[in-house]
Amino acid sequence: MIEQLVIYPLITQMLLAIVLMFFWSRIRWQRVVSIFGSLINLGVAIWLFVTVWQGGTLSIQAGNWEAPFGITFVADTFAATLVLLTAIAGVAVSSFSAGSVIPARLKFGFFPIFHFLLLGLNGAFLTGDIFNLYVWFEIIIITSFVLLTIGGEKAQLEGAVKYFTLNILASIVFLTAIAVLYGLTGSLNMADLASKVAAVENRTLVQVNALLFLVGFGIKSALFPLYFWLPASYHTPPSAVSAIFGGLLTKVGVYALIRVFTLIFEVDPFLQNVLLAVAVLTLFSGAVGAIVQNNIRKIFSYLVICHIGYMIAGLGMMTEMAIAGAIFYLIHDIMVKTNLFMMSGVIYKIKANHNIRKLGDFYADHPKLSLLFAIPLFSLVGIPPLSGFWPKLSLISEGWFTENFIVIGAIIFASFITLVVIIKLWGEVFWKTGEKLPEVRNFPYFNKLTNIKKTQMLAPIILLSIVSLYLGFGAGNIQNLAERIAFELMDNQEYINTVLSK
Amino acid sequence: MEVLLAIMVGTLYASGIYMILRRSLVKLIIGIILLGNGANLLIFLLGRIAKGSPPIIPGDSKVFLEAYSDPLPQALILTAIVISFGLQSFAIVLVKRAHKVVKTDDLDEMNATDEYS
């Protein structure tokens, strides 16, 4: 019966979303239910993770249809880890939303939609069926559209038009890829596809199909030529929404890429070169984009793009250690990006401005907060021994062994530019003597908020900072985890055997 | 029949992409609808078309005795149609709101969020 555990995270999120819909206009209750429900979900996710860590991969067949025919849900270490990270980010953002999102937005179903988004994320991580993955992706994008547009400001609607066009386009490409894959193999179960794709004779069509998947997931994970929807939209919604988007949405695309290219398709040298080239260009363009921006959230948006490059570089090198580095970076990035966008939300609540040229004096006014904010910022740069340093170490050493010197150069360049960007941000926002900003009328300034709301906004930042610190100082444990995930991904027999119950 | 459907799918994809590349918001939506329909037809086509052979096992046997048409693509298409219907309805409302707030139909003028500030 322990297999049932795989769908518990889905059930908790779905029940939570449905329960929240009954409190539609009672936002006070919604806040309480959302935070406590997220904590319960965190408990379930920890339970799942510990079970998978100790007992190995779990799988469950929906409706008891046998494996290649029914829809399968699988929790291997990779999926369980990401469900756990989603749950941690979920608790943090739920609490942050309760404190920071204005009631006018909460009244239009912010919390139910937020939990449907988390449901979609959990589903995408846990499913073992490629068409089911498409359905979860659709749940993710439709809920993200609503979260992005809720409030209906001009910038939000403009950003949403771009966001939705490119994401729907990505879904259509993904659907086309699934259609071709089904036509080639007659199966949709990912474990089953692993052997069936290898047996297809028409290799050219398989390669084209792999590229279709790359484009579809590439748009979703904001890879180099396909990322333009991201900086156009991520800085427009409330910071709580940006936090969950920046932390998790692009990472689902990365997850799907890693899953598809380790399980279903064999990565040939051509595809490897494509992935590496895309990774280098992503690192480069994201870094250069970040350095010229002035809006604090746009800077972080470009850094989201830039750092996707590390994970794709790890995937492109396709050795076990490189994938372990990519996984470690994924874990680090989810925590730190969520934290950064929440941090920008707090800065906005204090100063009512996003422009780093106009901000200033933060360190003089709020020394303790500045110290807190330094943790995610320095973790992002990867100052040893903080969390961003360790995955880069594995990536660079693997780049050396596989003789991908351009990749090493791009990784070092991107790290260096990230450092420059963060120094610039620190100098402008925290150290500089800023100009006097005009008081905005009717703006919910931070110091006018009640103590409960202040706690709700700062507690998640502290929580995620502690997690980030653990990722850095407990890097040995995380490296073990990442290596085990990479081993399971490269040697996918355990996954396949568990699903097909051989 | 297959050739006809293949040409149809190609036309739908081509016209969909052409429409998305236009500057008008309404044509954008039409393009997305056409692309979605093209993808649905593609699934149908790649599920292999077999005429007049429903996937029903005769009462006196336990397995299929002859070739049958695959029912799964139709289930997939149904799911995809429902999903794209939902997305398209959202898109139409979004475009209407965006047009009202931004006061333009031209995608080239919807660049406030991309501008350097």
Q: For the segment A410-456, what is each residue's pLDDT rounded down to a tens digit?
A: 999 999 999 999 999 999 999 988 777 788 888 888 888 889 999 99
More confident: B63 or A260: A260
- Using a CB–CB cutoff of 8 Å, tell me whether B77 touches chain A: no
- How many Cβ atoms are within 10 Å of A203's Cβ, its own excluded? 9
Paired tokens of B50: 């077999």
DSSP string, B41-61: HHHHHHT---TT--S---TT-
E strand or H helix that includes residue A464: helix A451-473
E strand or H helix that includes residue A283: helix A269-292
Cβ-nearest to B97 among A157, A231, A232: A157
Q: For the segment B88-102, what is each residue's pLDDT rounded down to a tens digit?
A: 999 999 999 999 998
Residue A61 is given by DSSP the state E
Burial (CB count within 10 angstroms: exposed 0-12, middle 13-18, buried 19+), residue A395: buried
> What is chain B's mean pLDDT, rounded?
88
- pLDDT at site A501: 82
Paired tokens of A393: 């170490």
Is a pLDDT exceeding 80 seen at residue B51?
A: no
- Using a CB–CB cutoff of 8 Å, tell me whether B43 touches chain A: yes
Is a pLDDT exceeding 80 seen at residue B50?
A: no
Query: Model confidence at A473, in pLDDT bands (50, 70, 90)?
Result: very high
Closest CA to A290 of A349, A337, A221, A244: A337
Structure-token match 């156009």, residue found = A232
Cβ-nearest to A175 among B28, B80, B107: B80
Sign of the dihedral defined by the CA atoms of residues A457, A26, A140, A353, in that order? negative
> B4-28 b/e with 16+ CB inside 10 Å = b?
eeeeebeebbeebeebbeeeebebb
E strand or H helix that includes residue A110: helix A110-126
What percentage of chain A reaches a pLDDT higher than 70? 100
Are the C-beta atoms of residues A46 and A85 closer than 8 Å to each other?
no
Cβ-nearest to B102 among A145, A154, A231: A154
Is a pLDDT exceeding 80 seen at residue B53?
A: no
- pLDDT at site A411: 94
Least reliable range by pLDDT among A154-163, A316-325, A428-437: A428-437
Residue in chain B closest to A159 (alpha carbons) equals B113
Mean pLDDT value of segment A233-260: 93
Q: For the segment A360-419, what is each residue's pLDDT rounded down to a tens digit?
A: 888 888 999 999 999 999 999 988 888 889 999 999 999 999 998 999 999 999 999 999
More confident: A47 or B65: A47
Q: For the segment A76-104, what is each residue's pLDDT rounded down to a tens digit?
A: 999 999 999 999 999 999 999 999 988 88
User: A-B interface: how many C-beta pairs under 8 angstroms?
Assistant: 104
Domain borders along chain A are 2-499
Is a pLDDT exceeding 70 seen at residue A502?
A: no
Query: Model confidence at B69, in pLDDT bands (50, 70, 90)?
Result: confident
How far apart are the C-alpha atoms of A434 and A357, rounded to whole Å? 8
Are the C-beta atoms of residues B98 and A158 closer than 8 Å to each other?
yes
Paired tokens of A413: 């360049």
Is a pLDDT exceeding 80 seen at residue A220?
A: yes
Is a pLDDT exceeding 70 seen at residue A468?
A: yes
> A323-358 b/e with 16+ CB inside 10 Å = b?
bbbbbbbbbbbbbbbbbbbbbbbbbbbbbbbbbbee
Q: Taking the CA atoms of chain B, what radius of gyration do you get in angstroms?
A: 20
Contact B47 A182 (CB under 8 A): yes
Domain borders along chain B are 2-50+71-103
Query: Model confidence at A3, in pLDDT bands (50, 70, 90)?
Result: confident
Least reliable range by pLDDT among A247-256, A333-342, B50-59: B50-59
Mutate to test the interface with A, among B113, B115, B116, B117 (most CBs of A within 10 A): B113
How far apart are the C-alpha atoms of A233 and A254, rounded to whole Å? 19
Contact A142 B46 (CB under 8 A): no
Is a pLDDT exceeding 80 seen at residue B43?
A: yes
B34 to chain A nearest CA, in Å? 11
Amino acid of residue B78: L
Mutate to test the interface with B, among A134, A146, A157, A174 (most CBs of B within 10 A): A157
Mean pLDDT value of segment B60-89: 87
- pLDDT at site A1: 67
Is a pLDDT exceeding 90 seen at residue A64?
A: no
Burial (CB count within 10 angstroms: exposed 0-12, middle 13-18, buried 19+), residue A294: middle
How far apart are the C-alpha atoms of A331 and A171, rounded to whole Å? 25
A132 to chain B nearest CA, in Å? 10
- Using a CB–CB cutoff of 8 Å, tell me whether B108 touches chain A: no
Contact B114 A235 (CB under 8 A): no
| β-strand partners of A74 | A59
Query: Model confidence at A465, in pLDDT bands (50, 70, 90)?
Result: very high
> What is chain A's mean pLDDT, rounded?
92
Cβ-nearest to A149 among B39, B94, B102: B94
How far apart are the C-alpha atoms of B107 and A64, rounded to whole Å? 49
Mean pLDDT value of segment B66-92: 89
Contact A160 B98 (CB under 8 A): yes
Is a pLDDT exceeding 70 seen at residue A495?
A: yes
Of chain B, the end-to-end C-alpha distance in Å amounts to 55
Residue A385 preceded by cis peptide, ω within 30: yes
Closest CA to A17 of A172, A121, A103: A121
- pLDDT at site A266: 86
Q: What is the largest CA-CA distance in chain B?
A: 75
How far apart are the C-alpha atoms of A321 and A161, rounded to whole Å? 40
Cβ-nearest to B39 among A135, A172, A233: A172
Query: Model confidence at A141, in pLDDT bands (50, 70, 90)?
Result: very high
- pLDDT at site B3: 92
Closest CA to A187 of A502, A499, A420: A499
Contact B46 A169 (CB under 8 A): no
Is a pLDDT exceeding 80 seen at residue B64?
A: no
Is a pLDDT exceeding 70 seen at residue A171?
A: yes
Contact B114 A232 (CB under 8 A): yes
Mutate to test the interface with B, among A158, A184, A353 (most CBs of B within 10 A): A158
How far apart are the C-alpha atoms of A488 and A172, rounded to whole Å? 30
Q: Give ipTM to 2 decimals.
A: 0.94
Contact A145 B90 (CB under 8 A): yes
Q: 2.60.40, 1.10.10, 2.60.120, 1.10.287: which CATH number matches B2-50+71-103?
A: 1.10.287
Is a pLDDT exceeding 90 seen at residue B63?
A: no
